[in-house]
Amino acid sequence: MITIYSVSALILAYLCGSIPTAVWIGLAFFGIDVREYGSGNAGATNTFRVLGKKAGIPVMFLDILKGWTATNLAYFIGVSTTGGYNSIAYTNYALALGIAAVMGHLFPIFAGFRGGKGIATLLGMILAIQLQAALLCVVVFIVVLLITRYVSLSSIIAGFTYTIGVTFIFHSNKSVVIYGMCMFLLILITHQKNIERLLKGTESKVNFFKKKIA
């Protein structure tokens, strides 16, 4: 049932996702808007690329926290309206909140609707929804990144791993499976240019420990 509390939570989740951590940290501590450099995205990867690990690590963890916190709003206000923590309605509600946060990251109201690609926020969301599948994705992401040094390729393969995991390994409910498929499609859409560069062999490899801009 749609209530003022559930609608308010969706708005709050979107606003939480809209916090432009990469932009604010870059401007506050380095005097740099990361969207004007590198890939132009306001996300953790571009922050690592432009400002180095001192900025990239906090941005990454805060972006993950955004997705996790927004999704877990269901824990605080969703039980009374969804029939309990283990109900399908509760899971659907948590998914909706997480998606709102991801949309906030992609199109942040606090940063002129110019956001990042949402990978870290997506990770925070799936950590709250399906912990085992999320941890599997993290392992796959790290392994692919160490082998290839392509963040984009690592993100794409990790997203595909999540879909396979919730469908065939962890046997999640239909809502989570459908979400996994949609999430993978979203990753493909937001990484379209990266895919083109990967196919051409022109995609940049990332060195997380080298600061590019003083």
Residue 123 lies inside a defined structural domain of this protein: no
Residue 45 lies inside a defined structural domain of this protein: yes
Domain range enclosing 42 = 1-118
* Domain end (from 59, 91, 118): 118
Residue 54 lies inside a defined structural domain of this protein: yes
* Domain end (from 118, 142, 167): 118
Read off the pTM: 0.89
Residues 109 and 7 in one domain: yes
Residues 55 and 149 in one domain: no
Residue 214: the pLDDT is 45
Residues 17 and 95 in one domain: yes
CB atoms inside a 10 Å sphere around CB 196: 11
Residues 52 and 100 in one domain: yes
Instruction: Print pLDDT tens along the chain (214 aa).
Output: 667 888 889 999 999 999 999 999 999 999 999 999 988 999 999 999 899 999 999 999 999 999 999 999 988 775 555 556 667 888 888 999 999 999 999 999 999 999 999 999 999 999 999 999 999 999 999 999 999 999 999 999 999 999 999 999 998 889 999 999 999 999 999 999 999 999 999 998 876 555 555 4
Residues 143 and 105 in one domain: no
**Rg of the chain's alpha carbons, rounded to an integer?**
17
Residue 141 lies inside a defined structural domain of this protein: yes
Residue 3: the pLDDT is 77
Residue 213 lies inside a defined structural domain of this protein: no
Residue 124 lies inside a defined structural domain of this protein: no
